[in-house]
Structure 1
Amino acid sequence: MSTLGWAVLLGQVLLLSLLQVGGALAIAPDLHRLVVGRLALLDDAQFASSIAIAQAAPGPNTLYVALLGFQAAGLAGAVCAQLAVLAPSSMLAVAVGRWGHARQHHRAVLAFKAGMAPVTIALLAATSWIIASELPGWRPIALAAAAALAVWRTRLHILWLMALGALAGALGWV
């Protein structure tokens, strides 16, 4: 990959890091657009596989960004991409957390918290759609929809849903 392409990827990861409201998977649709569509570093299946591998590995869910960096520039790319996705959002979270805690009862802070919930849900839904649509058949989409409905309508713990998803995968249902 050219130096310019690597600089574009690193710059985008730095910017997208600030949009990780709800976790690193929230920026996956934009990274997909960049890495698969614009820079053509990976195809759709490789992108979905990098997310799946990173989610299966122990550690932060930002590991898929390190895998994308590795694809772009080897080990140095993985380290730089991981730092780029962690540093800006971490610094912002600390600063906003301190500021918000000092003003936790102000109307603007309460409104911001209430307004971020639908943004987070939409970003995570877009990520789920990209991952599920890359898998063959209708079952992955049905499983994702059922899990979303269960989270929304029941008090079932998310770990049970993850276990059911793992069981469905182990049985070859998805």
Structure 2
Amino acid sequence: MQNFYLAAFRVFFKIGIFTLGGGYAMIPQIEAEVVNKHKWMTREEFLDLIAVAQSCPGALAVNMSVFIGYRMRKLAGAICATLGVTLPSFLIILLIAMFFHQFQDNAVVASAFNGIRPAVVALIAAPVFTLAKSARIALTNCWIPVGSALLIWLLGVNPIYVLVVAGMCGYLYGILIKPTE
């Protein structure tokens, strides 16, 4: 049996270095490795982990790596998984900081980042639909995030207000409507 600590570090390092778009874009890769390939947890446990990781402060990918590593091998597992997912970003940012002045005005670099943006949106949208399907949320409820995005983008509504109103609506829905369904 392969050493878990090294395996966790490798898995999360690979995810950290090859995924663009942050924690939400990493969810499918983490699920593929943790649930499907290594079978460190079930799909249901993974979905619960996403909910807990989202509710905690900090970066989603870091939170997920901490929880997965801790679940498997307590503190040492959490440290290995977290180092694996954070080290690539740290090293890449360090390299960029060292050489930024050499390519900050490069048109090719600017074009590459402009091309990456739509792919990152797709990488973030894919797990949203997968999670909605797994949680049995009807796709007819897509109006909520779309409406929220339009309020923020087109009308310039502060995202904090959108979150507060969405939280209040969710609370009222759970109290008033959900029990009668």
TM-score surpassing 0.5? yes
**Aligned-residue RMSD, C-alpha:** 2.6
The reply on whether 1:151 has 2:152 as its aligned counterpart is no
Query: What is the aligned-residue identity percentage?
Result: 21
Separation in 1, partners of 2:109, 2:51: 35
Larger helix proportion, structure 1 or 2?
Answer: 2
Judging changes above 3 Å, is the alpha-carbon distance between structure 1 residues 26 and 44 closer, same or farther for their aligned structure 2 residues?
same
Letter aligned with residue 55 of structure 1: Q
SS at match of 1:3: coil
SS at match of 1:18: helix
The reply on whether 1:52 has 2:55 as its aligned counterpart is no
Match runs of 1:1-174 below 5 Å:
2-4=1-3, 6-61=5-60, 62-138=62-138, 141-143=139-141, 146-148=144-146, 150-151=148-149, 154=154, 155-170=156-171, 171-172=173-174
Separation in 1, partners of 2:167, 2:158: 15
Q: Which runs of 5+ in 1 are unaligned?
A: none
Separation in 2, partners of 1:144, 1:23: 22
TM-score by length of 1: 0.81
Judging changes above 3 Å, is the alpha-carbon distance between structure 1 residues 65 and 159 closer, same or farther for their aligned structure 2 residues?
farther
Q: Contact 2:65–2:82 (CA<8 Å) still a contact in 1?
A: yes
Judging changes above 3 Å, is the alpha-carbon distance between structure 1 residues 6 and 112 closer, same or farther for their aligned structure 2 residues?
same
SS at match of 2:18: coil
Judging changes above 3 Å, is the alpha-carbon distance between structure 1 residues 108 and 9 closer, same or farther for their aligned structure 2 residues?
same
Aligned length: 171
Q: Deviations over 1:72-125 (max 9, x none)?
A: 222211111111111111210232254344322211111111011012111111
Q: Contact 2:21–2:120 (CA<8 Å) still a contact in 1?
A: yes
Q: Deviations over 1:39-65 (max 9, x none)?
A: 222222211211111121123322012
Larger radius of gyration: 2
Q: Which runs of 5+ in 2 are unaligned?
A: none
Separation in 1, partners of 2:70, 2:4: 13
Separation in 1, partners of 2:65, 2:130: 16
TM-score by length of 2: 0.78
Q: Deviations over 1:122-158 (max 9, x none)?
A: 11112212322221331xx444553146426634443
Separation in 1, partners of 2:68, 2:166: 25
Displacement over 6 Å in runs of 4+: none
Judging changes above 3 Å, is the alpha-carbon distance between structure 1 residues 4 and 93 closer, same or farther for their aligned structure 2 residues?
same
